[in-house]
Structures are given as C-alpha cells and as structure tokens.
Chain A
C-alpha cells in the first residue's frame, strides 16, 4: 500500500530547505555577484563542490561532524541539547549544503544580468544598498528567483545518498521517498517501487517544464523591454 508519510516528509524537507537556502542564498549570491576580489574563487569553489562531489562523500563528512563523538556534535549536544545525526533538522542542514549551488548559481547569474546602470541610477537617487536589492535587483530577476527556488526544491526531493548517510531510514523522521524506493527494491517489491518512482519522475518532469516555460516567458518580456 502506498504510504503518504514519506511524501509529506519529502515535501516538508524540500520546502524547509528551499526557504533556508533562499534566506542564506540571496546575500551570499549578492556578495559573489558584486564582489570583485580575487579571493572570490574560493567561496565560489566551495559553493560549487556539491555539484562534483558524490553525495556519499558529503554525507560521510557531515555524519562525522554531527556525530556526538566528535567536536561539533558534542558541542551542539552539550551546550544546546541538539542532536543532528539521524534527525530531521540534521537532514535540513545536509540538504541545504547539498543543494547550495542550485540556489546560489542562478541567483548569482540573475544579479549579474541586471544592468549596472540601473543600480548606479538608484544610487544617484540616494537609495541604500538594501533598497536597491529589494526594489531594483530582485524584482528585475524574477526568472532567476523562480529557477533557483524550483531547482533547489526539486533537487532536494531527488536526493538519496546524503539522506541515507545523515538521516538514515527512520520512520516519521527521515524516511523520505527516495529511501522508501530503495527499501522497496531491496525487498523486491518492484511494483510498489515503480509507483513511487513514477510519481517522482512525473513530478521532476513537470518541474523542469514549468521552469523552462517561465524562463521563456520572462525572456520574451525582457526582449520586449
């Protein structure tokens, strides 16, 4: 029988991750887009690491860091009574790190696409950096905002390796759809695995179609202006 809870957990994880990533991603992408120091390549490389690193590698190091037997995990547990390994909050932190480039890179390129003269004009009108960010930059990069959020959400829905490493397979806590599919295949319930997989496949396809449609529409508006 199809379980509802893994879907709920997956979407809760993806939504929480996307919100956290957006809040962290806007200032970080802003800094990367407008900072011209040569050291910028270091944070850029760190942000891009999850693109090339196997999720199991990232998951392994996070598992080590979160473990109560190590410094970070011990500190969090003894000072804040927080345990991150095999818990939903730990999974959110791992997902945020894993999906970081999917939020940062579209936002960074969105910031760079807004003409510099618009920003400079706003400064000549006496507007602060924050006003320029909220009234000029973000409203004129809607396609990038939508792409970044949708891709981060979809990427989190589809993650498996890091979920298994950091979250384990704990019902009601960290058992998301990708883990359930793995379980069903292990138990040779291919029919059930197929149902879960089809739902994920259709979802991912629809997400990409919607992103491309929005981008197309936005580009047309941009071209007309």
Chain B
C-alpha cells in the first residue's frame, strides 16, 4: 500500500499554489488523478517519483519510507523502483527500440523480459529501428514497455496518451488495461480526459487548487456537467 501525505508551495502562471495531497492507494490498484491544468497533478507524480521534493510530509510504500521530512529521509529516484511514462514519450533517440528496453534492464536482470515486452507491445518487428521513425502510438508503446522492464513497484503515467488521436488513444487505453491486468502493478494515471478516467479506473481522485476535492468511483465523483459533455461529444468539460 502507498500512503502519501505531502505539502509544497508551487509557483505557476496563476500565482502561488499550496499543494496538500493526502491519500492511500492499495497494491495493484489503478487510480486516476483528474483535474484542470495547474491543479498540481503532475507535481504529485513528480514527488512520488522523487523528481520534486515535498516541503513536508511523508511517502511510504509497503512499510518502506521514500520520503519523510521529520527524519530527513528522501530516497533517490534511482532507488525507488518506479516506472514513469511522460507525455512526450522520452525515448532515447540514440538507441534502437530494443536498445531503449535493454538500457532499462537492471544489473543481473535477464534480457528475456525485453523480448517478452517487445512481443506484448507488438514491437518485435520494429525492434532494430530508432524512435525517430516511429509513430506517436508506437513511441508510447515503447515508452510503456521501457517503464515495465524493471518490474516497478509503482507505475506513474503522466497524461501518456494526450498527444495522440482519439482512435490511437482508445487502442492504447485497451493496451494499458491489458498491461495492468497482466502485471497487477499499482498504477497512477494522470488524465484530464473524462472518458479516459471512466474507462481506465474504478477510482478517481479529483484535484483542484492543489487539494483532493473528491475521491471515489468516476461516475459518482466526476462533475455532472462533465458527464453531459461525455454523452454529447466525448470532450472535456
């Protein structure tokens, strides 16, 4: 289980935001973080990843302390055993598809998982190609596969599909659900797409101004006017 309770002042275009994020997430759960731009969703993900230091609070996972301001513990990103997929794919342009996945291997880890993930992501036939020639959907499949290589304790997905067209989004959502059911990874997905939240998760945390304002099943927690938009044209309210 992940228990997070962190605070931090964030400085953005809309002034200062007092972020205070507190929740617990069960092992194997897929939770979505939903909210408007600037609500603090990505900052929460970056704090979980160790890329942004909270000012106070704690982050614990299965009894291990990742961050605790009281005891000055702050485990490095490298040592957290996480997988992160960013919106902009973040593939290493100097390596082939296979090279990207092999780069993610940990010391002593068998290379077999690379072949398994290439097969799972249907990228085996493009394994020797550089990321530059791949389509957006293919790049994102490689990015997800790369995040899975080290068998992370926590998978963090920061709007991974927002740069893709709706058909590709739908396909990759199915693929992410398949990955989740197969690997049973605790997963946090940041999204500002209502349809994606409803399709992908049984639990959504809605953030506004740096706070969780609602926590529950998407159909109950999401704003009603948002759902009307979903019914009408499937777009964001």
Tell me if B90 counts as interface (CB < 8 A to partner A).
Answer: yes
Known: A120-B77, A135-B103, A225-B131. A125 touches B90 (CB 8 A): no
Tell me if B71 counts as interface (CB < 8 A to partner A).
Answer: no
Is the CB–CB distance between A125 and B103 below 8 Å? yes
Task: Kindly identify, within residues 30 to 88 of chain B, every residue whose CB is under 8 Å from any CB belonging to chain A.
Answer: 49-51, 76-84, 86, 88
Is the CB–CB distance between B92 and A140 below 8 Å? yes
List, in ascending order, chain A residues with CB within 8 A of B132's CB: 221, 224-225
Is the CB–CB distance between B94 and A123 below 8 Å? no
Counted as pairs of residues, one from A and one from B, with CB atoms less than 8 Å apart, the total is 61
Is the CB–CB distance between B146 and A125 below 8 Å? yes
List, in ascending order, chain B residues with CB within 8 A of A117's CB: 86, 88, 90
CA distance A140 to B147 in the complex (A): 21
Q: Which A residue sits closest to B88, measured CB to CB?
A: A117
CA distance A128 to B76 in the complex (A): 10
Task: Give, as a whole number of angstroms, the nearest-CB distance from A143 to chain B.
Answer: 13
Is the CB–CB distance between A124 and B92 below 8 Å? no
Is the CB–CB distance between A121 and B90 below 8 Å? yes
Task: Kindly identify, within residues 90 to 127 of chain A, every residue whose CB is under 8 Å from any CB belonging to chain B.
Answer: 115, 117-118, 120-127
Is the CB–CB distance between B81 and A225 below 8 Å? no
Task: Give, as a whole number of angstroms, the nearest-CB distance from A199 to chain B.
Answer: 37
Is the CB–CB distance between A121 and B51 below 8 Å? no
Task: Give, as a whole number of angstroms, the nearest-CB distance from A154 to chain B.
Answer: 27
List, in ascending order, chain B residues with CB within 8 A of A115's CB: 88, 90
Known: A124-B147, A135-B103. A140 touches B93 (CB 8 A): yes
Tell me if B177 counts as interface (CB < 8 A to partner A).
Answer: no
When each residue 125-142 of chain B gets 1 if its CB lies under 8 Å from chain A and 0 otherwise, what string results? 000001110000000000
Is the CB–CB distance between A126 and B90 below 8 Å? no
Task: Give, as a whole number of angstroms, the nearest-CB distance from A135 to chain B.
Answer: 7
When each residue 98-139 of chain B gets 1 if its CB lies under 8 Å from chain A and 0 otherwise, what string results? 000001101000000000000000000000001110000000
Task: Give, as a whole number of angstroms, the nearest-CB distance from A161 to chain B.
Answer: 40
Is the CB–CB distance between B51 and A120 below 8 Å? yes
Is the CB–CB distance between A124 and B88 below 8 Å? no
When each residue 68-82 of chain A gets 1 if its CB lies under 8 Å from chain B and 0 otherwise, what string results? 000000000000000
List, in ascending order, chain A residues with CB within 8 A of B180's CB: none
Tell me if A139 counts as interface (CB < 8 A to partner B).
Answer: yes
Task: Give, as a whole number of angstroms, the nearest-CB distance from B163 to chain A.
Answer: 13
Is the CB–CB distance between B86 and A125 below 8 Å? no
CA distance A118 to B82 in the complex (A): 15
Q: Which A residue sits closest to B149, measured CB to CB?
A: A125
CA distance A1 to B25 in the complex (A): 83
CA distance A82 to B92 in the complex (A): 47
Is the CB–CB distance between B93 and A225 below 8 Å? yes
Tell me if B20 counts as interface (CB < 8 A to partner A).
Answer: no
CA distance A78 to B103 in the complex (A): 51
**Max chain A Cβ within 10 angstroms of own Cβ: one of B76, B104, B106, B147:** B104
Tell me if B150 counts as interface (CB < 8 A to partner A).
Answer: yes
List, in ascending order, chain A residues with CB within 8 A of B81's CB: 126
CA distance A90 to B78 in the complex (A): 43
What are some 22 contacts across the A-B interface (CB < 8 A)? Answer: A117-B88, A117-B90, A120-B86, A120-B90, A121-B92, A121-B146, A122-B92, A122-B103, A123-B51, A123-B76, A124-B49, A124-B78, A124-B84, A124-B147, A125-B146, A126-B78, A126-B150, A140-B92, A140-B93, A221-B132, A224-B132, A225-B93
Interface residues of B (CB under 8 A from A): 49-51, 76-84, 86, 88, 90, 92-94, 103-104, 106, 130-132, 146-147, 149-150
Q: A121-B86, A125-B104 are in contact. List 6 more A-B contacts (CB 8 A).
A: A120-B77, A121-B90, A122-B92, A124-B49, A124-B77, A124-B78
Interface residues of A (CB under 8 A from B): 115, 117-118, 120-128, 135-136, 139-140, 221, 224-225
